[in-house]
Structure formats: structure tokens, C-alpha cells
């Protein structure tokens, strides 16, 4: 009978385990990718409740995907659920404080909630981040928007 050294058995077990882990993550990625695409399609078709369900499922599979969280927040905005959308955008900001799009989206929600000062603060934070990232076109647009908002605020305070 052929004797296999214990180190060979251990090496074989490690290789089999590594292959199993690789297959698991590959399957998880494929499932997540397909669900993400379904969610985007539903969003584009304006099936917001369907898109919300899919995006929540993607997040349950991969809780670290901030892009999906932003899309979920967008879906909630479209459904008029501003409180939940603000909460989602806030979560993204807490997880990824240098993610300017989260500040922009939160600012939009805050404007809809008529929370001007908070909206301006978040726009300024987004502008600062975008300046550091050298995204000059976006910075210019935000600067123009901030100037309009500040001018409007000063007119309202004069009344």
C-alpha cells in the first residue's frame, strides 16, 4: 500500500480549501453582479419598488458596496422617502467620508426637506473633496449653486 506523507495530505487539503473559497467568491460576485444589473434596469424603467428590493438584496449579500447604497438612496428619493434616503446617504458618508457623491445626494435631500443650512454645509464638503480630487468642472458647478443658495439665503434674511 502507498503511504502519502502527512505534509502532502495537508497541502492537498489547503489547495482544495482554496479552490472552494475561490468558487464561493466567484459565485457570490456573479450573483451580485446579475442582481445589480437587474436593479439598474428596474430603476431605469422607473420600477422603484422593484429596484429597491433588488438593491436591498445586493446589500444583504455585499454590505460594503457604497455604489449600491447610493442607488438605493436615489430609489428612496424617487419614492418620496426622504428620511430613509438621508439615512442611507449618511451611512455612506460615515463609511466613506471622502465620497463626494454621497454629500451631493444628501444635500439634494436636505434641500427637498427645506434644511438649507445643512444642505449648504454638505455642498461645501462635497466641493472641498472634489477640489482635492481635482474635478474642476464639478467644483465650478457646485460653486455656482452655492453662490445662488447663499444669495437667496441673504435675501430671505433681509425680509
Q: What share of the chain is helix, strand, coil (3-state, %, to 5)?
A: 85, 0, 15
Look at the chain and count its residues: 159
Q: What is the pLDDT of residue 155?
A: 66
Q: What is the pLDDT of residue 56?
A: 97
CB 55 within 8 A of CB 82: no
Cell 437587474, located at residue: 38
Q: What is the pLDDT of residue 24?
A: 80
| Packed helices 82-95 and 100-112: angle between N→C axes, nearest 10 degrees | 160
- Averages of pLDDT over each 10 residues, the chain, 159 residues: 74 85 81 92 97 96 91 98 97 95 96 93 95 93 89 68
Q: What is the pLDDT of residue 63?
A: 85
For the chain, what is the mean pLDDT? Answer: 90
Cα distance between residue 43 and residue 41, in whole Å:
5
Amino acid at each position: 500500500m502507498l503511504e502519502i506523507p502527512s505534509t502532502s495530505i495537508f497541502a492537498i487539503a489547503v489547495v482544495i480549501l482554496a479552490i472552494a473559497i475561490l468558487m464561493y467568491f466567484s459565485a457570490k460576485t456573479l450573483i451580485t453582479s446579475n442582481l445589480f444589473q437587474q436593479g439598474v434596469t428596474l430603476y431605469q424603467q422607473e420600477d422603484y419598488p422593484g429596484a429597491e428590493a433588488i438593491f436591498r438584496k445586493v446589500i444583504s449579500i455585499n454590505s460594503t458596496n457604497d455604489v449600491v447604497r447610493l442607488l438605493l438612496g436615489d430609489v428612496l428619493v424617487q419614492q418620496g422617502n426622504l428620511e430613509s434616503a438621508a439615512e442611507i446617504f449618511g451611512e455612506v458618508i460615515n463609511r466613506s467620508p471622502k465620497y463626494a457623491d454621497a454629500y451631493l445626494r444628501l444635500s439634494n435631500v436636505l434641500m427637498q426637506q427645506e434644511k438649507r443650512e445643512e444642505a449648504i454645509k454638505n455642498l461645501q464638503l462635497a466641493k472641498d473633496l472634489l477640489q482635492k480630487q481635482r474635478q474642476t468642472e464639478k467644483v465650478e458647478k457646485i460653486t455656482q449653486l452655492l453662490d445662488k443658495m447663499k444669495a437667496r439665503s441673504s435675501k430671505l434674511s433681509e425680509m
